[in-house]
Amino acid sequence: MAKNWWKAVAVILVLFALIGGLLIDVPRLPILNETIRNLFYHVTMWFAMMILMTASVVYSIKYLRSGKELDDAKAKIAAEIGLFLGVLGIATGSIWAKFTWGAYWINDPKLNGAAVTILAYFAYMILRNSFDDEEKRAKISAVYNIFAYVLLIVFLMILPRMTDSLHPGNGGNPAFSQYDLDNTMRIIFYPAIIGWTLIGVWLGELKLRLHKLRIKKLEDEL
């Protein structure tokens, strides 16, 4: 039980973000107004996604060096959960865009880059199901995962900063940290990132247990 304290922390932090994010006073900025509360959900989910995708590519690199099936499984699981959070991030971002920009989606470099990134990781999942040979699947998937992560960095971190963009923090548009924000927002924002990340790790742990049980069952049947 003592080893699972972080799971309780994860639940508390996410509940704190979900509830506190709706109740605290927020700055009344032009256009954003009350929609700025989505900062606690949309942005924090994407931070957690990027952390998990980083973990995924690290395990893919480890697999290419070690050849251990468990490293490949961890890479896959981290990518799956990261993709789930990424889809949630796009959904909450689209709702935010509707209320601030007037449309669920606009032709914006950051938004288009996010879509390309999500599609790249969907392709990773499809690729994994395209091979019957486990070793071949693991090796090719690991190499592709590195490629997908490079796309993530390029389309989310680099290209949007090199052109005009409505998205905060890109194309000359100031990020939220540069606005005169109430410091109480940071009290919700940073714990939310930690909370979503820990929830992702927790889900990954559960999926890894199921994976190990399936492997053990197959071994027992042989």
pLDDT at 168: 61
Q: Model confidence over 160-215: pLDDT tens digits? A: 777 766 666 554 444 555 444 567 788 899 999 999 999 999 999 999 999 999 88
pLDDT at 178: 47
pLDDT at 101: 83
Residues 144, 98 contacting (CB under 8 angstroms): no
Residue 63 CA neighbour count, 13 Å, CB half = 27
Residue 193 CA neighbour count, 13 Å, CB half = 12
pLDDT at 169: 53
Q: How far apart are CA 165 and CA 76, in angstroms?
A: 32
Stretch 16-26: mean pLDDT, rounded? 88
pTM more than 0.75? yes
DSSP tag of 173: P
Q: Is the pLDDT of residue 32 over 90?
A: no
Stretch 78-82: mean pLDDT, rounded? 97
Q: Model confidence over 108-167: pLDDT tens digits? A: 888 888 999 999 999 999 999 998 888 999 999 999 999 999 999 998 888 877 776 666
Q: Model confidence over 34-64: pLDDT tens digits? A: 888 888 899 899 999 999 999 999 999 999 9
Q: Which of 138-177 are b and which e, b meaning 16 or more Cβ less than 10 Å from the residue's Cβ? A: bbebbebbeebbebbeebbeebbeeeebbbbbbbeeeebe
Q: Is the pLDDT of residue 218 over 90?
A: no
Token code pair at residue 176:
């939220």
Question: How many Cβ atoms from other residues are within 10 Å of residue 195's Cβ?
Answer: 22
Q: Give the chain's mean pLDDT.
A: 87
Token code pair at residue 109:
């470099």
pLDDT at 198: 96
